[in-house]
Amino acid sequence: MKNTGLILLAAVFALAFGILTQHLVTSLGNNKPAPMPAFTLPDVAGVTHNSTQWQGHILVINFWATWCPPCRKEIPEFIALQNELASQGVVFLGIAIDEEKAVKNYHEDMAFNYPVLVATTAGLELAREFGDAMDAVPFTVIVNPQGQIIYQKPGEVSKAELISQITPLLKPQK
């Protein structure tokens, strides 16, 4: 009787995992550009920013938290890429799903060269609006100059992945 219960429990977990995986693959596999949701959030200094101020730019938006090791690992690469690509209209934007004090302290330690906005726990809902079906942190999206989300990545993103997605959007340099 115990074996039957374990087998049934394993089957239920396998089914649930399969459904979740199918949902994730379907949502991530949708390469059709979607409009970027509008948002207004404060930065670490308390200055409010509206998403419209970055219209016409290639945006790399990263939802992150100070307590997240993969998030902390990505940030130095984002800083380097911002230095490298800023002159070509690329703007990295960090949206922290974290407490304001923790974000301010980390911001001071890291010398960010791109805007960092503080969304606290409301950032989870905003990330869902951007396509984060799993509530993953980190979660990165790329928005083209027309304001359409063209790339979504739950979990850690590599420099090579970002470059491969950003390069086709760049204007040829003169």
Q: What CATH number does residue 118 fall under? A: 3.40.30.10
Write down the residue that tokens 């693959």 correspond to.
25
Q: What's the rounded mean pLDDT across residues 59-71?
A: 97
Distance CA 18, CA 156 (A): 22
In this structure, the strands spanning 58-64 and 48-50 are unpaired
Whether residue 174 is contained in a domain is answered as no
- Shared domain for 21 and 48, answered yes or no, is no
- The reported pLDDT for the residue numbered 173 is 60
**Number of separate domains in the chain:** 2
Check pLDDT > 60 for residue 5: no
Check pLDDT > 60 for residue 128: yes
- The reported pLDDT for the residue numbered 171 is 78
Please give the C-alpha separations between residue 29 and each of 63, 111, 131, 146, 151, in angstroms, as whole numbers: 20, 35, 11, 21, 10
Check pLDDT > 70 for residue 17: no
Whether residue 41 is contained in a domain is answered as yes
Q: What's the rounded mean pLDDT across residues 91-117?
A: 95
Contact in structure between 150 and 165 (CB atoms under 8 Å)? yes
Q: Residue 8 is part of which domain span? A: 1-30
- Shared domain for 20 and 39, answered yes or no, is no
Q: pLDDT digits over 20-53, tens only? A: 444 444 344 446 789 999 999 999 999 999 999 9
Contact in structure between 164 and 150 (CB atoms under 8 Å)? no
Output the pTM of the full model.
Answer: 0.81
Mean pLDDT for the chain overall: 86
